[in-house]
Chain A
Amino acid sequence: MGIEIDPEQNEVRALKRVTNWRRERVVEIGCGDGRLTLRLARLGAFVHAIDPDAKLIRTARTKLPRRFAKRIRYHVGQAEHLNHANESFDLVVFAWAL
């Protein structure tokens, strides 16, 4: 079955306490295979998810459920050079990436 991370969803509980994620524009840095990205999308956020590993981004794209296709964009990229305009996001999440 592989490795299941945080089955109790303590992470999501903590994230929910930060803000109301509905319709928030989010950059997630270090998204890996999209584990946390999907959780953020379930909270209602629009997520631009970035990881430097092209293989992981491919995996994340293949695992992306259709219902989240309009909420999640996966990109290969570096945290030091975000390909986004100034002041364009409500939240930036470093997902085990700092």
Chain B
Amino acid sequence: MVHALREAHRVLKPNGILIDLRPALVHRRVGTERAGRFRQLGRMYESLDDDRKANRSVALVLRAGLFNVEWRTQFDCRRVMDSLADFRTFVDEFLTLERDFPPHDWLIQRVQRALETRGRAKKIVVRGPLMMNVLRKRDVGA
């Protein structure tokens, strides 16, 4: 990750901006939503190790004087799905990304049960904030 940040520094014009946009270091909340109301069914248990590693890499290049922090922010992000199959696809993606991702069948079953209860159509919603680091390139020679 540090190599990638150094490479970004190389291709940036003087005073250029690097934006690091990614999910915040928080376990995602899963639930159903109907008429804009979110009902939480559980939390995911992602490892978050890669996110910690990314934070360390950013800290390293800041310490090395390659960038200055211009702005940091965090905001809500929803992932909206219509069907259980979509949610399965979403969960399965973590299996390919994280070696130690634990089984989430319990959560899939909870979602399935919630979808099967009577009532108006629901959406499956995964909520988890995104964070954004905005870094300004520093001239290393300066």
**Chain A interface, DSSP helix/strand/loop, else mixed:** mixed
Chain B residues, Cβ within 8 Å of A14: 21, 73, 75, 130, 132
Chain A residues, Cβ within 8 Å of B22: 94, 96-98
Separation of A11 and B22 alpha carbons in the complex (Å): 10
Whether A87 and B12, one on each chain, are in contact in the complex, defined by CB atoms closer than 8 angstroms, is yes
**Chain B interface, DSSP helix/strand/loop, else mixed:** strand
User: Nearest chain A CB to B111's CB is how many angstroms away?
Assistant: 14
What are the interface flags for A5-29 relative to B under an 8 Å C-beta threshold, 1 for contact and 0 otherwise?
1111011011101110000000101
Separation of A19 and B13 alpha carbons in the complex (Å): 15
User: Nearest chain A CB to B10's CB is how many angstroms away?
Assistant: 6
Given A82-B10, A82-B11, verify A3-B89 contact (CB < 8 Å).
yes
Bin the interface of chain B by size.
Answer: 35 or more
Whether B17 and A8, one on each chain, are in contact in the complex, defined by CB atoms closer than 8 angstroms, is no
CB < 8 Å neighbour of A10 from B14, B80, B130: B130
**B78 an interface residue at 8 Å Cβ cutoff?**
yes
Question: 9 more A-B contacts (CB under 8 A) besides A87-B14, A92-B12, A98-B4?
Answer: A2-B82, A3-B80, A5-B77, A14-B75, A18-B17, A87-B12, A89-B11, A96-B23, A98-B20
